[in-house]
Amino acid sequence: MINFKSKIYVAGHRGLVGSAIVRKLNEKGYKNIVFREKNKLDLTDQVQVAKFLKKQKPDFVFIAAAKVGGIYSNKNFKADYITQNLQIQTNLIYSSYLAGVRNLIFLGSSCIYPRNSKQPIKEKYLLTGKLEETNDAYAVAKIAGIKMCESFNEQYKCNYKCLMPANTFGPNDNYDEKNSHFLPALILKSHRIKINNLRNITLWGNGKVKREFIHVDDLAEACVFFMKKKTDHSLINIGTGKDYTIDYYANTISKIILKKKIKIHYDRSKPNGVKRKVLDISLAKKYGWKPKLNLKKSIIKTYNSFLKEIKK
């Protein structure tokens, strides 16, 4: 049973999701949290990871560590994505088992589901169709992590859960133009337009594809909720259950950040990705979890955190 004295290891504690999990754990009274900086623990090194977990013997492990990025990065560095993610998650899951850890949450991504999946996407749609080619290497790695957790549950009676979030954003996000996801890249571009008093913005694709986003604080809340929850399912979607077009997000963010409407140009020579991707979160709701933050409040909260980060 996980309680306030339980030792909890958060892998990837400096990233978008990992840092939010640490904040949420502290907020709720969990103080025995362990983590290690990259320069002190290389998660792609099996020996280092095994030694660390054997010594620490945590009661619970969150795997939020991963190599992540946007369409450009996923499409052009596939070998890095599949290799590093397979190494990180395999080392952490297997070494956790060897260290006697029987409670773990592995975090993935909604990109694990087929490109042309029925909408909204149910957990049972996994492996029922072809993946989106622009990020299939990352998706295959995450699918392997899910199957690894399921296999340890089946063979060794572990309690390894896999939470699959929608596109996530919030504090500590990556705002690099070529390596970030759509929403943080849009926040950065809108901020630059604001400080330079510009009137135009250029985005990839045609603006018509639909995406679902969840604020990282909502995801962290789900992580802590399911840390304590006994479930009969190892794979659970985490999202808002609502999706909007890229054009809607662009106009909403411009109104929030710029306080005015701007002209949006779409570069149709660049990829769109899948046409629509929204998660069915009925299973998570059945267990008693649901998102709390609405989109506009989430964007305002994220932009304020972005302004603090660029001042550092």
Active-site residue list: 138
C-beta of residue 75 within 8 angstroms of C-beta of residue 135? yes
C-beta of residue 138 within 8 angstroms of C-beta of residue 73? no
285 Cβ contact partners less than 8 Å away, ≥ 6 residues apart: none
Query: Alpha-carbon distance 18 to 33, whole Å?
Result: 12
b/e sequence 54-64, b meaning 16+ C-beta within 10 Å: eeeebbbbbbb
Query: Alpha-carbon distance 171 to 176, whole Å?
Result: 14
Please name the residue that has the structure tokens 């998570």: 284
b/e sequence 71-92, b meaning 16+ C-beta within 10 Å: bbbbbebbeebbebbbbbbbbb
